[in-house]
Amino acid sequence: MKRNITNKLSFLISISFFLFGCNNNSFSSSSTIVSTNNSSSTSTSTFLNSTTKTNSSSTIENEFTGLLKNYNVISIMIETGSQYMVNPTLTPTLYKMQEEGLDFNINYSKNKTNISELIGIIGSKPTSFDPWSSLAIDNSYPYSSANILKQNDYNTFFIHDTGGDKDIYDRKNFNAKLGFDTLYFHEDLYPDTPIWNWGGNYPADLDTEQNIERLLNVDALKEKPFYLFWTTLSMHGPYSGSETNKYMKELYYDELKDAEEKGFWTNPLKDDTSEIRKRGMEYYQMASMNFDRSVEHLLSYLKANNLFENTLIVMYGDHEVYYSCDGKDLNLALSGHEERDYPDIYKTFMNFYNPTLNEKIIKVYNKNTVDKFTSPYNLVPTMLDILGVDYNSSMYPAKSVFSRRFQENGDIFYSYELNSFFTDLIWIDNDGNIVRNFADDKKITQNIFILIEDFKNTQQEIDSLYEGSIQ
């Protein structure tokens, strides 16, 4: 049964009315699901530097600003990159990067893939129009990371195995407006292979990564910095015996079962009553293993071509494991919840990796984890901050994790699919009602409402900008 804390905390009623009762602004809908720990609490420790100054474009500077100036960036949005993906034995490359890189330890996301992709590129989602409509293609996107980096003399690439009738978001035209000069799709990656279908005959991520290497000109990559964004595919559902599932089983089943028998991997649904759902998580883990091998291959490529040291690798998941198996959605089976308004369902993977960054973080903070709530909204401002490019931080709903504002106040996530705000500790619906509250401090709850108001104000500025550019 849902618990509405506004019935118990009278001071929150007035705050909620102030923030929501006079503002009928609701965000549009789009997203997908992921999880974390209800018992986790917001860290009050200062993970990052507190010395700041502001330049003319409102970029907040700190000790990490410009650390990776003119470095290349490879940003990978992992299809269904959930909390269940990484295992020390089965996905050793991802585990190593999680242990050594900047690891976002309390990261959550729940949006459809296209929305999570957009947030990972422009840091927000315009709500004044459909981003994949004809209006969107006529618009300009000055705060897109690709456009900003292109202005800083970067070559820009977007890669996704889609095309034809599968390109339902018209990425070929829309993503060019986001600032990507070179776009590769299925016909480029697999010119001799018919495109997949939604039933699950997707090409393996490892094969796609090798085709990306084939398409890239190494000499050109060395001439000036590049920004490459890759949206992966083969971890996509269903997880009930599709062609992709069967292919992954041929590759990795013996390795998976050996790890399970030795106690190195435990099926998170081992106690589930459904054998089909148990197999579903095996298929998911095997697809994760293939993605891990693709990242391993990518790192080897970068090292072989002397590009590893000066390349920042950013990875994040779009949403949780959510496909239905044997009559029940996997996200509910994994979490043990019957309702979808629990934050722990939506915990996802996010990681920044570069030797210089890794070394600096350990040297300064003696740890590599961001132990405050984050989401894909934090990705773009954090990335631009590290790269030291000029950007207007006031035009992003979330902040760089290196900023004083993030350290002191944190951030909140809005799901366009679930029409709700949440962190790891609290869930608030579009009407301002507190649906779940796991915070043990009233000040945390009060701060959440302030963050919501800040998010909504920033969103209004963003929408005004885009509305103005299409009139």
Alpha helices, DSSP H only, in 388-441? 404-409
C-beta atoms surrounding 336 within 10 Å: 9
pLDDT digits (tens, 9 = 90+) for 406-425: 999 999 999 999 999 999 99
* pLDDT recorded at residue 199: 87
Radius of gyration, CA atoms only, the chain:
21
Q: Is the dihedral of CA 384, 346, 105, 225 positive or negative?
A: negative
Band of pLDDT at residue 469, cut at 50, 70 and 90: low
Tell me, rounded to whole angstroms, the distance of Cα 274 from its chain centroid: 30
* pLDDT recorded at residue 50: 29
Band of pLDDT at residue 214, cut at 50, 70 and 90: very high
Strands 324-325 and 328-329: antiparallel
Instruction: Using alpha carbons, select from 285, 238, 233 the residue that is nearest to residue 257.
Output: 285
pLDDT digits (tens, 9 = 90+) for 113-132: 999 999 999 999 988 777 77
Higher-confidence residue: 466 or 245?
Answer: 245
pTM above 0.85, yes or no: yes
* pLDDT recorded at residue 32: 28
C-alpha distances out from residue 299 to 80, 85, 229, 259, 318, Å: 21, 19, 15, 24, 22
Asked whether the predicted pLDDT for residue 470 surpasses 60, the reply is: no
* pLDDT recorded at residue 218: 95
List Cβ neighbours of 430 (8 Å cut-off, separation of 6 or more).
26, 27, 419, 420
* pLDDT recorded at residue 15: 38
Tell me the mean pLDDT in the region 60-84. Answer: 95
Asked whether the predicted pLDDT for residue 265 surpasses 80, the reply is: yes
Residue type, 302: L
* pLDDT recorded at residue 165: 83
* pLDDT recorded at residue 86: 98
- pLDDT > 70 in the chain, percent: 86
- 8 A C-beta contact, residue 98 and residue 351: yes
pLDDT digits (tens, 9 = 90+) for 23-56: 334 443 333 222 233 333 333 333 333 233 333 3
Tell me the mean pLDDT in the region 323-332. Answer: 95
Phi, psi of 333 (to 5 degrees): -65, -40
Tell me the mean pLDDT in the region 421-440. Answer: 96
Instruction: List the beta strands (DSSP E) in 232-388.
Output: 311-317, 324-325, 328-329, 350-353, 369-374
pLDDT digits (tens, 9 = 90+) for 374-388: 999 999 999 999 999
18 DSSP 8-state letter = I
Give the Cα separation of 149 and 70 in Å (integer). 9
Containing H/E element for 464?
helix 442-470
Band of pLDDT at residue 399, cut at 50, 70 and 90: very high
Higher-confidence residue: 364 or 31?
Answer: 364
Give the Cα separation of 395 and 353 in Å (integer). 25
Asked whether the predicted pLDDT for residue 212 surpasses 60, the reply is: yes
* pLDDT recorded at residue 168: 84
To the nearest whole number, what is the mean pLDDT of the chain? 87
Asked whether the predicted pLDDT for residue 16 surpasses 90, the reply is: no
Question: How many degrees, rounded to 5, is the angle at CA 163 between CA 150 and CA 347?
Answer: 70
Alpha helices, DSSP H only, in 102-242? 113-122, 134-138, 145-151, 171-177, 186-189, 205-215, 218-223
Question: How many degrees, rounded to 5, is the angle at CA 313 between CA 308 and CA 225?
Answer: 65
Query: Under the phi-then-psi rule, with left for phi > 0, alpha for psi from -120 to 50, and beta for the rest, what region is 123?
Result: left
Instruction: Using alpha carbons, select from 327, 202, 321, 332 the residue that is nearest to residue 276.
Output: 327
Tell me the mean pLDDT in the region 180-186. Answer: 97
394 DSSP 8-state letter = G
Classified as helix, coil or strand, 379 is helix
Token digits of residue 387? 């790269």
Tell me the mean pLDDT in the region 345-365. Answer: 96
* pLDDT recorded at residue 14: 37
C-beta atoms surrounding 163 within 10 Å: 18
Token digits of residue 298? 């990518």
